[in-house]
Amino acid sequence: MTKRHNASIAEASGLTFDRLIVAVLFIALFAMAVRTPADTDMWWHLGAGRAIVTTGHIPYADEFSFTVRGRPWVDVYWLAQAGMYALYSLGGNVALAVLVAVLVVAAFAFVYPQMEGGPFLCALLIILAATATSVIWSPRPQMLSFVFLALTGYIVYLYKWRQVNRLWVLIPLFVLWANVHGGYALGLMLIGSVIMGEVLNRLTGRAAAPEVMTWRETGLLVGVGILCGLALLVNPYMLGTWVLPFRTIGIKTLQGFIQEWASPDFHNLYEQPMLWLLFGLLAAVGLSGRGWDWSDLVVVLVFGYSAFLARRNIAPFALVAVPVLARQAAHFVETIVSRIRLPVSARQDLKPELSSALNWLIVILIALAALLKCGMALSPQMIDRAQRQTIPVRAVEWMKQNHVTGPMYNSYNWGGYLLWALPEEPVFVDGRTDVYDEFLPQYVQVMFVRPGWQDVLDRYGVRLALTERDSFLATMLATQPQWRLAYRDDQAVIFVRGEH
């Protein structure tokens, strides 16, 4: 057996430099995604999951508030919530944080095969996309939509760009999707965008391009898309789940009141990676000379438009746009890099076995550093500090110790935690926007102390108010003789009314 053949075997079985880049990339993604759980909406999902697991039934109406109690509730998240609660019962906040990191890695594991170019380029673009999507990395069912959208993109990519038909996977995927989160609309958007793009490809004279689908292939994708839409009916709420996304985006209060539904504010640095992706894509198209594939263009336009309408759609845009950016940038970037590439003769002179060993050493050291970072983020002290900054832990402890009861006004962001921490005390409002769609204007009226705010509190018999210390309502209640300040810390205040 020749020395060259031995080297080839060693290289094939060892950790090559290209594989090292990929390994470091996904270790870095995992470390980036392990965060201290502090999302306020996490708590109402856990509370709903607890109710589902302990009672053994799926909710069809609100049972957590006193303001809209009994209102129909399409809890499309029910399966994810039950899973979240079970996981939390086993491993607490740490288990949920690790789950988020695993889901982030899984999503980009489906995105990475769609990329073109060398490992450096792919890793750089994946990190950029990960930075853009990181705004939604939290223990919520939407993380499953994050993974499912990436998987949908991968299956469609295989079908269009690699002529590998795995479209049948989409049908059971959408059945599952309809029972964990309402983001299945994103999957249908992606399929529909590709179908529209393929029609335009053929109508504009690009039929000869190898990646363009035939009419028969496009028709098959249309059929699968229809079956995916029908698969959404396989859930406890039937048609209610199918129409939920359309009802949600029709809630006018969302964009004016809830931050994640508002348009991006690019003065915030953490929202700017979307712009970097978009401008990078435009530059790559101009410099590569490759031209647009209509499917890529329609996908970018549709998801880009939705991202400009709502912050929460930045992450889906980044997931579907980064493979398009890689396809456009690969040729141009590799040509430039080849001209300025530093000598690598020292690395090439190393024996494959030694090179592989050094690469493994690098991976181990980076993995240890990542574990150290994860351990710091998930330490009990860090979790306690982060959660005390975002939810009224001390105020709730005081309420329990003093047996203070409502009916209680609470701020929107804290309703989910109160639902979890005080299950016997119905909340005024929480993060379930689809349940409170008609009630939210009344909540906003009280929160901003607009004319008639007292009438709202009287209408619901509110005797207790838990709100932020520096809120408009706290300032106003302090001037009202019928309200008495009962508790105060650096985060929250509690006012009681009358002789309560």
Residue ending a domain, choose from 340, 355, 377: 340
Rg (CA), the chain: 26
In a domain, 375, yes or no: no
Do 286 and 426 lie in one domain? The reply is no
Supply the pLDDT for residue 251: 67
Do 325 and 398 lie in one domain? The reply is no
Supply the pLDDT for residue 7: 43
In a domain, 364, yes or no: no
In a domain, 8, yes or no: no
Determine the longest span between alpha carbons in the chain, in angstroms: 95
In a domain, 265, yes or no: yes
DSSP for 411-477, written as a single string: -HHHHHHHHHH-TTS-BS--S-TTTSTTTHHHHHHHHTT-TTHHHHHHHTT--EEEEETTSHHHHHH
Do 23 and 139 lie in one domain? The reply is yes
Contacts of 250 (CB under 8 A, 6+ apart): none
Do 36 and 122 lie in one domain? The reply is yes
Do 330 and 399 lie in one domain? The reply is no
Supply the pLDDT for residue 484: 93
CA-based nearest residue to 35, from 88, 102, 119: 102
Residue ending a domain, choose from 340, 367, 402: 340
Range of the domain at 405: 391-497
Supply the pLDDT for residue 292: 86
Supply the pLDDT for residue 252: 66
Report the domain count for the chain.
Answer: 2
Do 317 and 423 lie in one domain? The reply is no
CA-based nearest residue to 315, from 125, 189, 194, 149: 149
Dump pLDDT digits (tens) for 306-345: 999 888 899 999 999 999 999 998 877 766 766 665 454 4
Do 333 and 455 lie in one domain? The reply is no
Pairing state between β 464-468 and 492-497: antiparallel
In a domain, 4, yes or no: no
Do 323 and 403 lie in one domain? The reply is no
In angstroms, the CA 449 to CA 458 distance is 14
Residue ending a domain, choose from 322, 340, 358: 340
In a domain, 441, yes or no: yes
Dump pLDDT digits (tens) for 229-252: 999 999 999 888 888 877 777 666
Do 88 and 192 lie in one domain? The reply is yes
Supply the pLDDT for residue 254: 64
In a domain, 275, yes or no: yes
Do 399 and 336 lie in one domain? The reply is no
pTM for the full predicted model: 0.91
Q: Which two tokens stand for residue 257?
A: 């009141």
Supply the pLDDT for residue 141: 95
Please identify every stretch of the chain with a pLDDT value under 50, giving residue numbers as ranges: 1-11, 342, 344-347, 500
In a domain, 177, yes or no: yes
Contact 84, 139 (CB under 8 A): yes
Do 333 and 435 lie in one domain? The reply is no
Dump pLDDT digits (tens) for 353-397: 777 788 788 888 888 988 898 888 888 888 888 888 889 999 999
Supply the pLDDT for residue 253: 66
Which residue type, as a one-letter code, is found at position 73?
W
Supply the pLDDT for residue 4: 44
Do 187 and 284 lie in one domain? The reply is yes
User: At 101, is the secondary structure helix, strand, or coil?
Assistant: helix
Tell me whether residue 81 is exposed, middle or buried, using C-beta atoms within 10 angstroms of its C-beta: 0 to 12, 13 to 18, 19 or more.
buried
CA-based nearest residue to 436, from 82, 40, 44, 37: 44
